[in-house]
């Protein structure tokens, strides 16, 4: 299979080496072997990319293009992704370690739908006419924010690129995109498709590179009008600081999570077991909205754990390219070790490993899916994001007890509620401080439905029409009728 063609930076629709001439290695986490290497962009390359994006934003053809034509280009991107779906899925699986069943059935369809959705939305972005005092005609324009820097993580490399590029391009912004250093390959391959779809030079520039160099250069660049970041809360704070200290660029952040997945005794337990598994083992638990805190009503705690254990121990963990595989490899050694350390810490603080808790294979960063029980909400494993296939079961007595614990976290990205009592479900959905609440389901996504955080999970909403707010500014125009 062909890996990404040039492995270079994309600036002004041309593939080029970094000015420093440096390249860095990209690995397959399932084999620990090098896949390829790509050009390593740093501040100088970011500057070149920003200049190209600025030029494209201020002059034609992008600036003069109708919104409908921008929509057509986005549609072509979706069609080309569809055409090359298998190649993209395999490349993502090779580079990230996630199972091919997931790249084919989740990452790719969702990425394609995101481009389709924003293709359709491009010509429906408009202002209002506003009745004002006096003899005036007042209207608003919704204008593109300008040159946008987008910094994305390694857990859904192509999908995160789609979430960022879809709305930015629909609104008429131009972009400097930095994929994560662990997983730059599908974003680069997407660059080939963007050119083929007819995107003019400079509209999207793709610069693989490291966070403290390329990423920080985007966040602190004085000619970037907005930075959109997805990653850890720690780095999110840094990005915001750099944005404030430079040109006060607009910021949106999608950060970490520690989602409560709440199972009441009156729920369909077998569906809830499915949901608990999807909540934490999807994408090896490398999901910011993972259902990592599994709150179980005391009455069903033991029964639920035993049902879950049976299912978890049947999971197929292994070769990510095998269609039967249910859980692949963690993205790299650092993440793998971090997860093992958290499990150790959990044990030291009194949690018990029900199943898993160790590497699954000798080679590759494969973890056994892990259940910890006897966890309380104050333990490190319940407070910090593990970002791995480790679910922490926490018993609760009643709704009051539950509510306090569920919201007792610095994060607020998502939550799950399992109950047959519809009133209870909706009441709780209102009380949970999180950007997404799933009732009797978990990890559901659609390009039309917004996603984003409360509290330290960030701010700004991606997807849906809400994401247009991230990439537009409103201008109020007054016209005297005298």
Examine residue 235 and tell whether it contacts ligand ADP (CB under 6 A): yes
102 is catalytic: no
Provide the b/e sequence for 361-399 (b: ≥16 CB within 10 Å).
eeebbbbbbbbbbbbebebebbebbbbbbbbbbbbbeeb
Helix (H, G, I), strand (E, B) or coil at 246: coil
Of 328-357, binders to ligand ADP (CB under 6 A) are none
Provide the b/e sequence for 417-435 (b: ≥16 CB within 10 Å).
bbbeeeeebeebeeebebb
Out of 50, 190, 219, 381, name the contact with ligand ADP by CB under 6 A. Answer: 219
Instruction: In whole angstroms, give the CA distance from residue 347 to residue 405.
Output: 21
Examine residue 81 and tell whether it contacts ligand ADP (CB under 6 A): no
Examine residue 211 and tell whether it contacts ligand ADP (CB under 6 A): yes
- C-beta of 345 vs 465, nearer to ligand ADP: 345
Binding mask 161-180 for ligand ADP (x = CB under 6 A): -----------------x-x
Out of 92, 107, 113, 181, name the contact with ligand ADP by CB under 6 A. Answer: 181
| Segment interacting with ligand ADP, rule: CB under 6 A, options 114-122, 231-239, 312-320, 357-365 | 231-239
Q: Active-site residue among 254, 286, 297, 385?
A: 254
Cβ 232 to ligand ADP shortest distance, Å: 3
Rounded to 10 deg, the angle between the 67-83 and 185-196 helix axes is 120
Of 145-164, binders to ligand ADP (CB under 6 A) are 151-153
- C-beta of 207 vs 406, nearer to ligand ADP: 207
Size of the site for ligand ADP (CB under 6 A): 17
- C-beta of 235 vs 393, nearer to ligand ADP: 235
Examine residue 245 and tell whether it contacts ligand ADP (CB under 6 A): no
Max CA separation in the chain (angstroms): 81
Polymer length of the chain: 482
Examine residue 41 and tell whether it contacts ligand ADP (CB under 6 A): no
CA distances 215 to 105, 149, 155, 188, 470, Å, are: 30, 9, 17, 16, 19
Q: Active-site residue among 181, 286, 288, 462?
A: 288
| Of the candidates 68, 181, 159, the residue with the CA atom closest to the CA atom of residue 119 | 68
303 is catalytic: no
Examine residue 216 and tell whether it contacts ligand ADP (CB under 6 A): yes
Is the Cβ–Cβ distance between 264 and 297 less than 8 Å? yes
Tokens for 33, please give them. Answer: 């072997």
Instruction: In whole angstroms, give the CA distance from residue 175 to residue 74.
Output: 14
Neighbouring CB atoms inside 10 A of 199's CB total: 24
Examine residue 296 and tell whether it contacts ligand ADP (CB under 6 A): no
Active site residues per annotation = 254, 288
Residues found near ligand ADP in the complex (CB under 6 A):
151-153, 178, 180-181, 210-212, 215-216, 219, 231-232, 235, 238-239
């Amino acid at each position: 299979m062909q890996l990404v063609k040039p492995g270079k930076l994309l600036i002004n629709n041309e593939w080029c080496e970094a000015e420093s001439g440096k390249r860095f290695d990209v690995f397959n986490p399932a084999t620990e072997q090098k896949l390829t290497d790509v050009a390593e962009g740093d501040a100088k390359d970011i500057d070149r990319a920003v200049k190209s994006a600025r030029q494209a934003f201020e002059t034609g053809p992008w600036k003069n293009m109708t919104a409908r034509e921008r929509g057509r280009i986005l549609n072509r991107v979706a069609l080309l992704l569809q055409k090359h779906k298998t190649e993209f899925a395999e490349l993502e699986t090779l580079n990230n370690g996630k199972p091919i069943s997931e790249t084919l059935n989740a990452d790719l369809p969702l990425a394609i739908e995101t481009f389709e959705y924003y293709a359709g939305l491009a010509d429906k972005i408009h202002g209002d006419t506003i009745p004002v005092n006096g003899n005036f005609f007042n209207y608003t324009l919704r204008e593109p924010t300008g040159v946008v820097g987008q910094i994305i993580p390694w857990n859904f490399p192509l999908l995160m690129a789609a979430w960022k590029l879809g709305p930015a391009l629909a609104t008429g912004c131009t972009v400097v995109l930095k994929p994560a250093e662990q997983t730059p390959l599908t974003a680069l391959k997407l660059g080939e498709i963007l050119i083929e779809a007819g995107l003019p030079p400079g509209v999207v520039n793709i610069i693989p590179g490291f966070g403290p160099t390329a990423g920080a250069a985007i966040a602190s660049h004085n000619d970037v009008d907005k930075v959109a970041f997805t990653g850890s809360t720690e780095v999110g704070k840094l990005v915001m600081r750099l944005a404030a200290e430079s040109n006060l660029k607009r910021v949106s952040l999608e950060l970490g999570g520690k989602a409560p997945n709440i199972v009441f005794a009156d729920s369909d337990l077998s569906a809830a077991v499915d949901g608990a598994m999807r909540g934490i083992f999807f994408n090896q638990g490398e999901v910011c909205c993972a259902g990592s805190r599994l709150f179980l009503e005391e009455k069903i705690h033991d029964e639920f754990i035993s049902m879950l254990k049976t299912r978890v121990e049947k999971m197929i963990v292994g070769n990510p390219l095998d269609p039967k595989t249910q859980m692949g490899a963690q993205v790299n050694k650092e993440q793998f070790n971090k997860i093992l350390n958290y499990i150790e810490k959990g044990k030291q603080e009194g949690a018990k490993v029900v199943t898993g808790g160790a590497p699954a294979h000798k080679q590759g960063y494969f973890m056994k899916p892990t259940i910890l029980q006897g966890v309380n909400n104050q333990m490190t494993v319940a407070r910090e994001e593990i970002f791995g296939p480790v679910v922490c079961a926490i018993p609760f007595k009643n709704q009051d007890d539950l509510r306090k614990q569920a919201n007792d976290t610095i994060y607020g990205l998502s939550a799950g509620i399992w109950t047959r009592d519809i009133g209870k479900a909706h009441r709780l959905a209102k009380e949970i401080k999180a950007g997404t609440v799933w009732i009797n389901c978990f990890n559901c996504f659609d390009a039309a439905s917004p996603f984003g955080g409360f509290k330290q999970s960030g701010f700004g909403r991606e997807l849906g029409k809400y994401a247009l707010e991230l990439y537009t500014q409103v201008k109020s125009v007054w016209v005297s009728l005298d």
